[in-house]
Amino acid sequence: MGIQMNKNFLLGVGFTFIIAIVSILLSNLPILNKVGALAIAIITAIMYRHFKGYPTQIESGIAFSSKKLLRLAIILYGLKLNLSTIIHQGSTLLIFDVGVVAFAICFIMLLNKIIKGDKNLVLLLGIGTGVCGAAAIAAISPILKSKERDIGISVGLVAIMGTIFSLTYTLLFAL
């Protein structure tokens, strides 16, 4: 039983690795390059699960990848920040960032009071908008015990809005 469990664990990690590689390759294509590899990976996994079903035999490897490896990847991604900028701007940058995150979460929660939406979905959207998009949603969703549907909706909305605002900002900056 232990050998079979280890094999299934490795198959689950391999399964998520394949989805990651496919998503990275797809993110190099026109239009999809605006969405990003992480959003593509999440959408691909959701679509796979919808059409093929959840591969329960390899669940342990998938769970390990989505919880442990994803958090490690986000930490490593954070290390990519320009440390000299952080050192020179220090507390000013930190205060500004905390303000942006707090504003995004509060603004979206305020909108939720008006439209009376799902609180978990709104929290995912607020964090995704304020922090760093799909990566933040993927990192926080296990902590919030979010439904797959809410994760998919929030990743999709954050990716679409991020693309729209990036293109708008690019056009306005040129003017």
Give CA–CA dist 140/155, Å, rounded.
Answer: 12
Residue 25 confidence (pLDDT): 92
Read off the pLDDT of residues 74-88 as tens digits, 9 standing for 90 and up. 666 666 666 666 677
Give CA–CA dist 173/47, Å, rounded.
Answer: 36
pLDDT band at 47 (very low <50, low <70, confident <90, very high): confident
- Mean pLDDT, the chain, rounded, equals 79
Task: Look at the chain and count its residues.
Answer: 175
Q: What is the mean pLDDT of residues 124-141?
A: 81
Widest Cα–Cα separation across the chain: 65
Give CA–CA dist 144/150, Å, rounded.
Answer: 11
Q: What is the mean pLDDT of residues 139-154?
A: 83
3 state SS for 102-115: HHHHHHHHHHHHHH
pTM: 0.53
* Closest CA relative to residue 74, chosen from 45, 103, 126, 38: 38
Give CA–CA dist 168/150, Å, rounded.
Answer: 26
Percent of the chain with pLDDT over 90: 2
